[in-house]
Structure 1
Amino acid sequence: MQTLAVASEIYPLVKTGGLADVTGALPKVMERFGVSTRTLVPGYPSLLALARLHPPLLEFDDLLGHRAFLRHLEIEGLSLFVLDAPALYERDGGPYVDGNGVDHPDNWKRFAVLCLAAAEIASGVMPGWKPDLVHLHDWQAALTAVYMRNMQCKVPTLLTIHNIAFQGQFSAEVLPEIGLPPDVFTTDCLEYFGDICYLKGGLTTTDHITVVSPTYAREILSPAFGMGLDGVLRGRIDCLDGIVNGIDGDIWNPATDPYLPFRYDVRSLRRKKQNKAMLLERFGLDAGAGPLFSTVTRITWQKGMDMLAEVADEIFHWGGRLIVLGQGDHEIEAALKCAAQRFPGKMAVSIGYNEPTAHLLHGGSDSIIQPSRFEPCGLTQLYALRYGCVPVVARTGGLSETIIDANDAALSARAATGFQFHPVTADGLRQAIRRAARSYRDQRDWTRLQTQAMRANYGWERSAETYAALYRRLIN
């Protein structure tokens, strides 16, 4: 089975969040189920440096006014189509923002061009290769389904929503510029409160929709979580599924992780404390008998980081320490920095994202905190489980499905893997931190909790098998 995936980022070449981890891991596992995937990605500088070592497979004379080349790149077990359009992708900053953190003003065109190229490939423009199915990831790829319908391309499509809060909403004035006819500007396609919405266009034209956990699939049908698209999704409920994400066990493995000074497994868990000591020294925090909490996330309201800034003192009351790694909302970043200044030697904040540091935080922290107000699936808590870093999570979306709360019944059954809290409020978070800190005081029970977490299986195999079965159903 030949599939074309379309994505705006892919690990390890370009990453801003969990989307890249999924698009980088899933194709490799799908091979075991008879699925060969080629992923179309924009030609960012990091990709072009490698892709331009090979001659182009195809030339596009006019993609919305741009000449572009399609190049092929095999790397890290991935097969990539790289869209070489320098005017659109070869620039400073990240995939979506410039060096100052401001959205690229032509994002509407940058990802429309990516989608148009994908639709052309799906229609058979490439000699000798045509996909049996096209798998679209998030709003940046969603417009592909609209182009394919406009071209009357019958190749089935699947759209996966990784986070419905990001929708690709732009002024209706750009509609003539993206090469689509006026009749798509309707409430049952692209029109969205007077604007156009790439994600909505994909949701209304794709053959099937998946989200990254069954709980999130239910949540987004409500106004509270649907972000204005709940009505569209309720209208397509018969072709909506939730499939939990997995993690790449080769990359996230404390026994082999090259970023850990001291590697360990369930039998050598004591080495984790050596990583903890190095973490405390690296971030200038005092040693102590209490737990080391950390968080690796976008610093946003969605992720509940404002609540963490408010209740950080609870951690220090119990003799704990806190390290925050991430970036996002400048006001919340400032609130976290202010908290760190109030508690010198107890809290550190590192603005930005660094992959080796993220691995070290999982490998050295006792517990990771994820107080998300909504969370489609979440991968950080799955990495934390693998590293015996006990998660403290809000009871929402995929967090509620992947973490078993350490209540009396789960503890007695030796099934608990972390701590959930609800309602998702600052007080709820404070209570969860208190529960975790109390549990940490009994090292025998805490070690058992870590061991249970490390033995939880959240690899990609089961989910990949589900995707493969869905692919075949759509093709047939």
Structure 2
Amino acid sequence: MRVLHACSELYPLLKTGGLADVLGALPAAQIAAGADVRLLMPGFPALMQGIGETSLVTEQETFAGKITLRYGTYNGVGIYLIDAPHLYDRPGSPYHDGAQHEYADNYKRFALLGWVACELACAIDPYWQPEIVHAHDWHAGLAGAYLAARGYPARSVFTVHNLAYQGQFSARHLHELQLPSHFMQPDGLEFYGQISYLKAGLYYADMITAVSPTYAKEITHAEYGFGMENLLEQRQYHGKLTGILNGVDYQIWNPLTDPLLPENYHPRKMAGKAACKAALQYQQALTVTPDAPLFGVVSRLSSQKGLDLLLGSLPKLLELGGQLVLLGSGDAHLQDAYLEMAKQYPKQIAVHIGYDEALAHNIIGAADVILVPSRFEPCGLTQLYGLKYGTLPLVRYTGGLADTVIDCSLENLADKLSTGFIFRDSQVNELNDAIRRVFALWAEPVKWRRVQRQAMAMDFSWDIAAAKYLTMYQHLS
């Protein structure tokens, strides 16, 4: 089975979110399961430099100018790179400039990704043609449209990592992008008079996957559908929408082997976790004590992630004696508010604006609780890392959070099933109640340790997800 993943990010070379983590692990797991898998990516500087030596596949004149298609390998996975410096050789983010303004030619830069994916299915590389083109998020959404325009030379899969980002551009670009004019209609890629790359992926794919079973159900409803709910409900009715939970790369996220932790640990020997906690408290100038539960946040600071709710619940967390270490960036007013709280309570709150991979590992390794109070969460990876590290997730019941965390209810505690804490509604008082339940369990160390062991025993390895994707590919082909 020859599979091509069309995508824009790859951990650890280029990452702005969880998409990179998925593409850094899923292809390798599929290869290990026996598939012939390659990636197609824009030639962003971080990728060109990180992948290193490549060979020439072909040179093409395209609607986006002259391009060179190159081929190399990274960590055992073959990768096609679209070498087009006039489109991709720009510093910083792949999507916007330093002032956070989206590049004006994004419509062309990412249409090209879909176009080349289709051309690979049409034998632009005479030595390898995919049977399945698997496109990820709006950046590769036009792959399905180009495949449809060419009579589907390969089967098409589209994965929604986050429906909120839709890639909408002016309809005037349709002719320039060499797409049929009749595609510009509601039964096509048109969305309120614009071209939607996301909708193209949803409409033209042979199969749509969401990154968790619950999120696949949620996006068929208006609350989570961002205007696509009717199309998604229709596709679900015809059996063309499913949810496959993301996995975790346990070679990177494992407290027993994590080189970024000051001390390693495992479920039967948790002293290392206590050492990690003390080290982080000291480094962050918090009161060094094993008695205060340490809450961690590694997140984009936005209302989608529920970080405004947490801000409202911080007084309760502090009143009960908790500590907080936060790492992330996002909305300016939230950044400022958390920095102000850290200034007021320097022995209980530490805030770092930005992202630091080593600090992320240390927070998840050291904290007692990882907070993920999202209003919606397609899958979520942070809570999965928390489970492996015995850092109990406190999450809202939505998307992948609902699929991966088992609440510390009295029944679940009695049945020895609990792995974390869940609240239902996006309300400060609901989050406050969940925080109180954290402190109630914290006061019973024997029960806390048992829940930790149950959490650390959960298995969300990529092998499971890879097998489900391969079964789906086989049904399509």
TM-score if structure 1 supplies the norm length?
A: 0.97
User: Which residue pairs with 2:267 in the alignment?
Assistant: 266
1:191 correspondence with 2:190: yes
1:370 pairs with 365, 369, 372, which one? 372
User: Which residue pairs with 2:123 in the alignment?
Assistant: 124
Return the offset for 1:413: 1.2
Distance of 1:310 and 1:340 partners within structure 2: 14
Q: Which amino acid aligns with 1:22?
A: V
User: Which residue pairs with 1:301 in the alignment?
Assistant: 303
CA contact (8 A) 2:408 2:418 kept: yes
CA gap 1:396/1:48 in 2 versus in 1, 3 angstroms: same
SS of the residue corresponding to residue 176 of structure 2 reads helix
CA contact (8 A) 1:63 1:117 kept: no
User: Which residue pairs with 1:440 in the alignment?
Assistant: 442
Return the offset for 1:158: 0.5
CA contact (8 A) 1:71 1:83 kept: yes
Distance of 1:301 and 1:171 partners within structure 2: 28
User: Which residue pairs with 2:230 in the alignment?
Assistant: 231
User: Which residue pairs with 1:252 in the alignment?
Assistant: 253
CA contact (8 A) 2:395 2:421 kept: yes
Q: Which amino acid aligns with 1:280?
A: Q
Distance of 2:413 and 2:43 partners within structure 1: 49
Alignment map for 1:278-317 (pairs within 5 Å): 278-288=279-289, 289-317=291-319
Distance of 1:211 and 1:385 partners within structure 2: 22
Gaps of 5+ in 2: none
Identity of aligned residues (%): 42
Distance of 1:342 and 1:52 partners within structure 2: 48
Distance of 2:305 and 2:113 partners within structure 1: 29
Distance of 2:343 and 2:102 partners within structure 1: 31
Q: 1:297-349 deviations in whole A, cap 9, x for unaligned?
A: 11111100111111112221121110111111112212222222222221111
1:240 correspondence with 2:246: no
Distance of 1:7 and 1:184 partners within structure 2: 23
User: Which residue pairs with 1:39 in the alignment?
Assistant: 39
User: Which residue pairs with 1:456 in the alignment?
Assistant: 458
1:395 pairs with 397, 403, 409, which one? 397
CA contact (8 A) 1:51 1:71 kept: no
1:24 correspondence with 2:24: yes
Q: Which amino acid aligns with 2:438?
A: A
User: Which residue pairs with 1:12 in the alignment?
Assistant: 12
CA contact (8 A) 1:88 1:110 kept: yes
Distance of 1:36 and 1:354 partners within structure 2: 34
1:89 correspondence with 2:91: no
User: Which residue pairs with 1:329 in the alignment?
Assistant: 331
Return the offset for 1:51: 4.4
1:202 correspondence with 2:204: no
Aligned residues: 474
Gaps of 5+ in 1: none
Distance of 2:260 and 2:30 partners within structure 1: 27
CA contact (8 A) 2:3 2:133 kept: yes
Return the offset for 1:118: 1.1
CA contact (8 A) 1:93 1:101 kept: no
TM-score if structure 2 supplies the norm length?
A: 0.97
Return the offset for 1:48: 1.2
Q: Greater shift after overlay, 409-418 or 144-153?
A: 144-153
Q: Which amino acid aligns with 1:454?
A: M
CA gap 1:212/1:50 in 2 versus in 1, 3 angstroms: closer
Distance of 2:19 and 2:99 partners within structure 1: 22
2:360 pairs with 324, 342, 358, which one? 358
Q: 1:186-205 deviations in whole A, cap 9, x for unaligned?
A: 00111111111001011111
1:49 correspondence with 2:42: no
Q: Greater shift after overlay, 30-39 or 161-170?
A: 30-39
SS of the residue corresponding to residue 408 of structure 2 reads coil
CA gap 1:437/1:77 in 2 versus in 1, 3 angstroms: farther
User: Which residue pairs with 1:111 in the alignment?
Assistant: 110
SS of the residue corresponding to residue 166 of structure 1 reads coil
Distance of 2:50 and 2:434 partners within structure 1: 47
Distance of 1:349 and 1:103 partners within structure 2: 28
Distance of 2:225 and 2:71 partners within structure 1: 37
1:171 correspondence with 2:170: yes
Q: Greater shift after overlay, 374-383 or 173-182?
A: 173-182
Q: Which amino acid aligns with 1:255?
A: L
CA contact (8 A) 1:50 1:73 kept: no
Q: 1:150-193 deviations in whole A, cap 9, x for unaligned?
A: 12233101101011111111222222332213211100111111
Distance of 1:63 and 1:276 partners within structure 2: 54
User: Which residue pairs with 1:155 in the alignment?
Assistant: 154
Q: Greater shift after overlay, 392-401 or 284-293?
A: 284-293
SS of the residue corresponding to residue 263 of structure 1 reads coil
User: Which residue pairs with 2:62 in the alignment?
Assistant: 63
Question: 4+ residue stretches of structure 1 with deviation over 3 A?
Answer: none
Q: Which amino acid aligns with 1:46?
A: A
CA contact (8 A) 1:302 1:374 kept: yes
SS of the residue corresponding to residue 141 of structure 2 reads helix
Q: 1:379-403 deviations in whole A, cap 9, x for unaligned?
A: 1100110001000000111101100
Return the offset for 1:50: 4.2
CA contact (8 A) 1:123 1:153 kept: no
Return the offset for 1:287: 2.1
CA contact (8 A) 2:43 2:83 kept: yes
Distance of 1:91 and 1:199 partners within structure 2: 24
User: Which residue pairs with 1:429 in the alignment?
Assistant: 431
Q: Which amino acid aligns with 2:9?
A: E
SS of the residue corresponding to residue 116 of structure 1 reads helix
CA contact (8 A) 2:55 2:72 kept: no
Q: Greater shift after overlay, 282-291 or 304-313?
A: 282-291
Distance of 1:79 and 1:283 partners within structure 2: 41
CA gap 1:151/1:100 in 2 versus in 1, 3 angstroms: same
Return the offset for 1:52: 5.4
CA contact (8 A) 1:290 1:437 kept: no
Q: Greater shift after overlay, 328-337 or 359-368?
A: 328-337
SS of the residue corresponding to residue 71 of structure 2 reads strand
RMSD of equivalent CA atoms: 1.3
Q: 1:96-133 deviations in whole A, cap 9, x for unaligned?
A: 12223332222211111111111111111111110111
CA contact (8 A) 1:295 1:370 kept: yes
